[in-house]
Every structure is written in structure tokens, then in C-alpha cells.
Amino acid sequence: MIYKYDGRGEKCPVPLVNLRLLLKKMHDGDMCIITIDDRGSINDIPTLLDKQGYHYQKQTDDNGVVEISVNT
């Protein structure tokens, strides 16, 4: 299953909390795509994913919006 969360316009820690909730729902083979633009979330979310051992890809567009794809 693919979970999507658009956190643009939301300030940290809201995107981080919502991502944690999505990660709890995920099973092997699932994917989560989160879109964020808050500087705190852009720094904190990859740190969380690294600490918990998730594999992810991060892309930034020209407007500073970051899309993070997390695979289980």
C-alpha cells in the first residue's frame, strides 16, 4: 500500500508526529510519501528515519519543497 501525506504549510512537530503514525500502520512492502516545506521538519524527519533504520529517498524541488519516500 502507498500512504501519502502532504505536510506543506504545517510546522514542526506536526509532520513528524503524522509520519510516526503512518509508519506504525505500514507493513512490509508498503511505501509512504511525505511532502514537507517546514525547515524544522526537513531536518528532523530524515534524522528520525536514520535512527529507526528506514530506507528513504529525499528530493527537493526549486521552491524548497521536500518529498521523502519511505520503503519498508
Domain topology for 2-71 = Translation Initiation Factor IF3 (3.30.110)
CA 2/CA 18 separation, integer angstroms: 15
CA 45/CA 28 separation, integer angstroms: 20
Report domain extents, the chain: 2-71
Amino acid at 60: T
User: How confident is the model at residue 25, as a pLDDT?
Assistant: 95
Q: Which residues contact 21 (CB under 8 A, 6 or more apart)?
A: none
User: How confident is the model at residue 72, as a pLDDT?
Assistant: 87
CA 42/CA 15 separation, integer angstroms: 10
Contact 7, 38 (CB under 8 A): yes
How does pLDDT run across 2-55, given as a tens digit for each residue?
999 999 999 999 999 999 999 999 999 999 999 999 999 999 999 999 999 999
